[in-house]
Amino acid sequence: MAAASQVSKTLSRLSLVKDHLQEPEPHISTCLPVSNPTVPFWQEDRHKFHDHRSTEQIPPHSDIVIIGAGYAGVSAAYHIIKEKGCADQSITILEARGACSGATGRNGGHLRPDFYGHIPTYVDRAGAEAGLEIAEFEIAHVNAIRKVIDEERIDCDFTLTRTIDVWCNEQSAKQAKQVFDQMKAREFEYMDDAIFYTGKAAEGICGVKGAKACASYTAGTIWPYKFIMSLVEIILESGQVNLQTYTPATSITPDPKGGYIITTPRGKTHANTIIHANNGYVSGLLPEYANNIIPCKGICCRIAVPEGSTAPLLNNSYINRTTDGILSYLIPRADGSIIVGGASNVFKPFKEQWYNNIDDSTLIDSAKDYYSNYMQETYNGWEYSEAAVDSIWTGVMGYSYDSNPHIGAVPGRQGQFILAGFNGHGMPVIWLASKELASMAVHAKDFEATRLPRLYKTTQERIERARNGREEDGDIIGTGGFSATKQ
């Protein structure tokens, strides 16, 4: 009996070795965050764990290594330690810079599910159910995040709000109304929360000068850095998590004895399981994703009125579109200041300034002045506010070829998982995605047994489609005309 079990152990080890030998060659990452990023308003007061290292040396082994300490990496660790039967799982998080110094610590703080923006495209590409799954999954985040903030007593300025979409161009307003009506006609229940206004009422309802139409529904606003750093405190208190900041993973090599050896400039560490949660930088270690998830820069800023004066009240969050189609996302804060960003149509023609670009140490030159007089020019009642930009920064997002994130087991790399490619829209995606990924990584749950939307699944087919496809046919800078998903 003992001999039989020994034989079976040896066979399974040999099969592991064989699987590993079939894996792609290890790759040394050159896609790493720069060391001197712009400092966003959110991170002006650094959290005590921003530069934290749980131990002086990196641990020699952990059950799980997570690459990246942003929203995805930290949430994945949180959910793993909360999973049933995982109290003995050891986790190391390797972070190239400070904790939460990537996109999460520099975003717009807008927790805004998609109702009718990209959902019609997903419906068109993969059917009504596939689109509905995404909308419902994103909508579930508003309450799920509110719940964890309540349960864990996290102080992160969370507000439940109405988000208002605004169209100032007459033609775009008409098209938006058509799409809205088509979505209503589908009788998706979630659309009951949304309302569309046209005509003269629009400007009075949204307060945006020259608005031709607006629509609103329920969303949230949040201080993302505070949210994630509070989760960092919780996971570190568990004793299961070792956080190593300023420790980039530079290569991953299969260990013939099983698991993987992860190399960093501070030495090597071993893990049975790896979770790639480094979003825009993911192709540095997984080169097969190079055409799938492209690092793209975005710009964001804080606008405030002079000290001692009171800002006109805005108590909704916004997506504003100007007459010439420039889109900005905006959230008001309880202190009267505004966080606003976007303006991608301003910098889009200057591809080298934002596309396949990981330099968040510099602003985007063509857009850096766009928000100088934004509130005065955009909102009724702000003309004499003297509102001015008091903090401006850039960040690196992971844009994907088909606009969906890549989540699940990495094809051909046993024991490696990916949670990346959030298209500048991770707030209403990552919390529940990381919960489902946690159960895949620790309980070997199949993707299909999770509640993840089907279009999020990372597959060889998606990888190949982008690899063999042309940029001009993808969603990032192309027409989105790739044919493989069209039904």
Ligand X SMILES: Cc1cc2nc3c(=O)[nH]c(=O)nc-3n(C[C@H](O)[C@H](O)[C@H](O)COP(=O)(O)OP(=O)(O)OC[C@H]3O[C@@H](n4cnc5c(N)ncnc54)[C@H](O)[C@@H]3O)c2cc1C
- The answer for residues whose C-beta is within 8 angstroms of residue 364's C-beta and 6 or more apart is 297, 298, 299, 347, 350, 353, 354, 394
The CA distance from 220 to 226, in Å, is 15
The reply on whether position 300 binds ligand X by CB under 6 A is: yes
The reply on whether position 395 binds ligand X by CB under 6 A is: yes
In contact, 301 and 100? CB cutoff 8 Å: no
Of 90-98, 127-135, 180-188, 301-309, the window that binds ligand X (rule: CB under 6 A) is: 90-98
Shortest distance, CB of residue 298 to ligand X, whole angstroms?
Answer: 4
Shortest distance, CB of residue 363 to ligand X, whole angstroms?
Answer: 11
Q: Which of 113, 131, 207, 248 binds ligand X (CB under 6 A)?
A: 248
The reply on whether position 114 binds ligand X by CB under 6 A is: no
Residue 310: alpha-carbon gap to chain centroid: 33
The reply on whether position 329 binds ligand X by CB under 6 A is: yes
In contact, 176 and 167? CB cutoff 8 Å: yes
The CA distance from 103 to 279, in Å, is 9
Shortest distance, CB of residue 264 to ligand X, whole angstroms?
Answer: 8
Strand 317-321 vs strand 327-332: parallel, antiparallel, or unpaired? antiparallel
Shortest distance, CB of residue 165 to ligand X, whole angstroms?
Answer: 14
Shortest distance, CB of residue 267 to ligand X, whole angstroms?
Answer: 14
- Long-range contacts, stretch 256-263, CB < 8 angstroms, 24+ apart: 256/17, 256/20, 257/13, 258/13, 258/16, 258/17, 259/415, 260/65, 260/415, 260/416, 262/65, 262/67, 262/94
The CA distance from 52 to 414, in Å, is 30
Please report which helix (H) or strand (E) contains residue 139, including its range: helix 128-151
Shortest distance, CB of residue 303 to ligand X, whole angstroms?
Answer: 15
Of 17-25, 43-51, 107-115, 438-446, the window that binds ligand X (rule: CB under 6 A) is: 107-115
Q: Which of 207, 332, 341, 469 binds ligand X (CB under 6 A)?
A: 341
CA angle 170, 176, 181 (to 5 degrees): 130
Q: Which of 196, 217, 281, 289 binds ligand X (CB under 6 A)?
A: 281
Q: Which is nearer to ligand X, 342 or 469 (CB)?
A: 342
Shortest distance, CB of residue 483 to ligand X, whole angstroms?
Answer: 27
In contact, 158 and 146? CB cutoff 8 Å: yes
Q: Which is nearer to ligand X, 314 or 420 (CB)?
A: 420
In contact, 119 and 139? CB cutoff 8 Å: no
Shortest distance, CB of residue 6 to ligand X, whole angstroms?
Answer: 38
Shortest distance, CB of residue 95 to ligand X, whole angstroms?
Answer: 5
The CA distance from 178 to 198, in Å, is 12
The reply on whether position 197 binds ligand X by CB under 6 A is: no
Of 105-113, 201-209, 368-376, 406-414, the window that binds ligand X (rule: CB under 6 A) is: 105-113
Q: Which of 95, 133, 138, 402 binds ligand X (CB under 6 A)?
A: 95
Shortest distance, CB of residue 341 to ligand X, whole angstroms?
Answer: 5
The reply on whether position 103 binds ligand X by CB under 6 A is: yes
Name residue 111's beta-bridge partners: 220
Q: Which is nearer to ligand X, 244 or 322 (CB)?
A: 244
Site string for ligand X, 362-391 (x = CB under 6 A): ------------------------------
- Of 386, 282, 370, the closest CA to residue 330 belongs to 370
Q: Which of 108, 113, 259, 453 binds ligand X (CB under 6 A)?
A: 108
344: left (phi over 0), alpha (psi -120 to 50) or beta: alpha
The reply on whether position 357 binds ligand X by CB under 6 A is: no
Per 3-state DSSP, the chain is made up of helix, strand and coil in percentages (nearest 5) of 35, 25, 40
The reply on whether position 71 binds ligand X by CB under 6 A is: yes
Site string for ligand X, 4-43 (x = CB under 6 A): -------------------------x--xx----------
The CA distance from 32 to 264, in Å, is 12
Shortest distance, CB of residue 310 to ligand X, whole angstroms?
Answer: 25
Site string for ligand X, 413-442 (x = CB under 6 A): -------x-x-xxxxx-x------------
Phi, psi of 411, deg, nearest 5: -55, 130
The reply on whether position 295 binds ligand X by CB under 6 A is: no
Beta-carbon count within 10 A of 393 CB: 22
Q: What is the DSSP string of 216-259?
A: EEEEEE--HHHHHHHHHHHHHHTSSEEEESS----EEEE-TTSS
Of 100-108, 133-141, 192-200, 201-209, the window that binds ligand X (rule: CB under 6 A) is: 100-108
Enumerate binding residues for ligand X (CB under 6 A). 29, 32-33, 67-73, 94-97, 101-104, 106-110, 248-249, 277-279, 281, 284-285, 298, 300, 329, 341, 395, 397, 420, 422, 424-428, 430
